[in-house]
Amino acid sequence: MQTSVRLGKLKLKNPVTVASGTFGYAQEFKELVDLNALGAIITKTITLNPRLGNPVPRLAETSSGMLNAIGLQNEGLDNFISIKLPLLQRIKTKIIVSVSANSAEEFIHCVQALEKVNVEAVELNLSCPNIKYAKLKSSKGKARIFAQDENDTFSLINAVAKKTNLVLIAKLSPNVTDITGIAMAAEKAGAHALSLVNTFSAMAIDINTLKPRLANVNGGLSGPAIKPIAVKMVYDVAQAVNIPVLGMGGIMNSDDAVEFILAGATAIGVGTANFVQPNVSMEIIKGIEQYCKKNNIKDINKLIGMFRV
């Protein structure tokens, strides 16, 4: 059976990736998962300088979901390149490095540094709901997340695309009125693929202490609670653009993964499910193949967007 798919010029051996921030830098999972079997590994987002992240508590379980406000804790670009990346590059799969920054210049600096050390693809995290974009002034003069504004999305990706040959995957925010407009702006600007969705802006209150359950007050909701909304966003975006979509949001098993592919996702990301069952990505790879065999589908690409209204 043909299981390989393409995100631009990046060829994955199968459509199953692990979502940024839910799989560390892969070494954390090496005893539990056959890392070589994954279609791709998307690393925890890195930034130019190290970040401590937000104060604790920064995780809370909610009905059918999980709230997090990690705040992009990471050791910074240089440490990633010297310590984490060499180990990642030994794994026989594609490595997609997730990067976030406050400005186009900072994004370009990170992407060019990664290009020099043979990284093939980056996921531009334009959508983290859990950090304060202090320096960023949007086109409307207000600090906000890049992927919440078409012009900001366009100008950022366009600036980066002009300065690199890497595969650029733009990670979009679901915290918008119409994600298709943002997706089209990202495509026009030169993104080779789109990753969606990041977490939904959300909060929870402890009714006994009268305190927020996250020290940051706000967090991002992930897990099964968001899946139907994410499926709709993937479906809408896949109809609107001609570049591949990497779909994610509440994928817990292979049926969920197939649902995203039918909605139009070329590849899928397993996120919160990694915390529930660390080797779930292996079962998802097998389950997708079994589904294809059962339904006499010889090429996984035939399944993409096969859903009809």
Ligand X SMILES: Cc1cc2nc3c(=O)[nH]c(=O)nc-3n(C[C@H](O)[C@H](O)[C@H](O)COP(=O)(O)O)c2cc1C
For 2, 65, 87, 268, 293, the CA distances from 298, given in Å and listed in that order, are 6, 34, 34, 19, 7
Helix (H) or strand (E) holding 88: helix 85-88
174 with 228: CB under 8 angstroms?
no
Which tokens hold the place of 268?
């899928």
- Residue 1 CB, nearest distance to ligand X (Å)? 25
Window of 13-21, 82-90, 133-141, 185-193 that interacts with ligand X by CB under 6 A: 13-21
Clarify whether 128 is annotated catalytic.
Answer: yes
What's the CA gap between 159 and 108, in Å, rounded? 8
Shortest distance in whole angstroms from residue 99 CB to ligand X: 9
Contact segment (CB under 6 A) with ligand X among 1-9, 135-143, 242-250, 299-307 equals: 242-250
Among 249, 264, 287, 305, indicate the residue that binds ligand X (CB under 6 A).
249
- The residue type of 93 is T
Minimal CB distance residue for ligand X: 21
H or E, element range at 115:
helix 104-116
Nearest approach in angstroms of CB 264 to ligand X is 17
Among the listed residues 160, 220, 222, the one whose alpha carbon sits nearest the alpha carbon of residue 186: 160
| 98 near ligand X, rule: CB under 6 A | yes
- Residue 44 gets which letter from DSSP? P
Burial class (CB within 10 angstroms; exposed 0-12, middle 13-18, buried 19+) of 1 = exposed
Q: Scanning residues 27 to 86, which ones bind ligand X (CB under 6 A)?
A: 44-45, 66, 68, 70, 72
By residue count, the chain amounts to 309
Which residues fall within 8 angstroms of residue 31, CB to CB, at 6 or more apart? none
Compose the 118-157 pattern: x for residues touching ligand X by CB under 6 A, - for all others.
Answer: -------x--x-----------------------------
Q: Which residue in the set 14, 54, 216, 222 belongs to the binding site for ligand X (CB under 6 A)? A: 222
CB of 211 to ligand X, least distance (A): 20
**Residues in contact with ligand X, shown as a per-residue x/- string from 268 to 297 under the rule CB under 6 A:** ---xxx------------------------
Candidate list 15, 16, 17, 22; residue touching ligand X; CB under 6 A: 22
Report the b/e string of 244-279 with b at 16+ CB within 10 A.
bbbbbbbbbebebbbbbbbbbbbbbbbbbbbbeeee
Question: Which of 12, 66, 85, 128 is an active site residue?
Answer: 128
Closest to ligand X by CB, 234 vs 303, is 234
Binding site for ligand X (CB under 6 A): 19-22, 44-45, 66, 68, 70, 72, 98, 125, 128, 171, 198-199, 222-223, 226, 248-251, 271-273
Catalytic machinery residues: 128
